[in-house]
Structure 1
Amino acid sequence: MKDTAKHEGLRNQLVTVLKEKGITDKNVLEAIKKIPRHLFLDSSFADYAYQDKAFPIGAEQTISQPYTVAFQSQLLEVKKGHKVLEIGTGSGYQTAVLCAMGAIVYSVERQKELFKKTLNLLPKLDIINPKPKYLSFGDGYKGLPNFAPFDSIIVTAGAPIIPEPLMAQLKIGGRLVIPLGEEVQIMTLLIRKNETQFEKHESGEFRFVPLLEDKN
């Protein structure tokens, strides 16, 4: 599947929709405009790729709607060269958006099927620069302690609690974005103030697939 002028036009329309919904970070909007979302979907959904909707990607997982990807990315306040840990690689679309924002991305996926598919796809996309630094098959609750600390951490599945290992792997001044809750999640931002203190902000309701533990 190729990226065409038609796809580019649809991405421009999507960016307009995201602006109308309150996304203001130019770095986020430019990344959404750049990354060909249709390449991350099964061909049966490709014609709908630039609608602001979530779609199934296999293994009972979904690709988040573009607004959710943009909202989480905006909360992270990513700067070029930031070291970002992503929990839940999924389709790889959020990974690609973070890369397009200039982040150095380390990502963990617990579903073998999705991990293999994304590991095959991402390196082939020349448009992604910088490339993801490290893609890992493993338990997202544990993070990647060998590569810590991180400037920011993004969790792309609903969690009942904030895993303590993730908090420990965040730099002082770093930002952790995670949807917290069971059926419905509250988008939660933690900012690490010092070794023991975190500032907490909540930003509305979302729906995510659950972050599951010890599946490997």
Structure 2
Amino acid sequence: MELEKLHRRMIEGIRRLGVKPEVVEAMEKVPRHLFVPEDRVHEAYDDHPLPIGDGQTISAPHMVAMMCDLLDIEPGNKILEVGGGSGYHAAVMAELVGKDGEIYTIERFERLAEFARENLKRAGYENVKIFVGDGSLGLPEFAPYDRINVTCAAPSIPPPLLDQLRVGGRMVIPIGRYMQELYLVEKREDGIHREIKGDVVFVPLIGKYGFRE
């Protein structure tokens, strides 16, 4: 009962952000406490990042809401997520794409990938596929994607991700090492359009087109 009360409080905060109603509804359906370590369950609905191991974090609820809102996710979309973490962000996007949509997540750490798989299975999400590898390379075998969600900061937009985004598609990605900015990237017929949406703080993207360890 206490977790339900905290969840409702979190949702009220999300509503005040002014994001699309579909995003609020999706976050209302996802039990965030199933996606955090057991010793952090009491903080699951607080609006701040939480450590999930291997130096990684689960993003603050407001950031998940804002990124999903910027992506303008539609039912049936095929989405690539770079940085799967505990699986929470993927679960919210799975709600937004519906049963006809697909989420492909790439995570650098095997332990976290397995943690996410267990969490998603426990929460009942079957349309999320998790892979382990270099997120900066994307997953070309399933491209093109309607949306790409990058949950770690890159030095610049990785060329493979642009290649794998379909024309008409959207990507959100944090750019910068220490002072980061969240970019909305749109791939249009006339080229790539970028727009800065605010200052953010994310863990670094490590890989060929990311930062070095």
Q: TM-score, normalised by structure 1?
A: 0.91
Q: Comparing 22-31 with 61-70, which one deviates more in the overlay?
A: 22-31
Measure, in 1, the Cα distance between the counterparts of 2:44 and 2:120: 17
Segments of 5+ residues of structure 2 without an aligned counterpart are: none
Measure, in 1, the Cα distance between the counterparts of 2:58 and 2:109: 14
Measure, in 1, the Cα distance between the counterparts of 2:111 and 2:36: 14
How many residues align? The count is: 206
The 8 Å contact of residues 86 and 119 in structure 2, kept in 1 or not, is answered as no
Match of 1:62 in 2: 57
Give the counterpart letter for 2:84 in structure 1.
T
Q: Comparing 50-59 with 112-121, which one deviates more in the overlay?
A: 112-121
After the TM superposition, which residues 25-174 of structure 1 pair with which residues of structure 2 at under 5 Å, given as runs?
A: 25-102=20-97, 103-126=101-124, 128=125, 131-132=127-128, 134-174=129-169
Q: Secondary structure at the match of 1:183?
A: coil
Q: Secondary structure at the match of 1:101?
A: helix
Give the counterpart letter for 2:87 in structure 1.
G
Measure, in 2, the Cα distance between the counterparts of 1:7 and 1:178: 31
Q: CA deviation at 1:184?
A: 2.4
Q: Give the percent of matched residue pairs that are identical in Structure 1 and Structure 2.
A: 37
The 8 Å contact of residues 150 and 171 in structure 1, kept in 2 or not, is answered as yes
Give the counterpart letter for 1:150 in structure 2.
Y
Measure, in 1, the Cα distance between the counterparts of 2:43 and 2:138: 33
The 8 Å contact of residues 81 and 148 in structure 2, kept in 1 or not, is answered as yes
Say yes or no: does 1:184 pair with 2:183. no
Q: Secondary structure at the match of 2:156?
A: coil
Q: CA deviation at 1:59?
A: 0.4
Q: CA deviation at 1:125?
A: 1.8
**RMSD of equivalent CA atoms:** 1.5
Q: TM-score, normalised by structure 2?
A: 0.92
The 8 Å contact of residues 14 and 50 in structure 1, kept in 2 or not, is answered as yes
Detail structure 1 runs of 4+ shifted over 3 Å in the superposition.
Answer: none
Residue number among 178, 184, 206 corresponding to 2:200 in the alignment:
206
Q: Secondary structure at the match of 2:39?
A: helix
Match of 1:17 in 2: 13
Q: CA deviation at 1:23?
A: 3.4
The 8 Å contact of residues 85 and 153 in structure 1, kept in 2 or not, is answered as yes
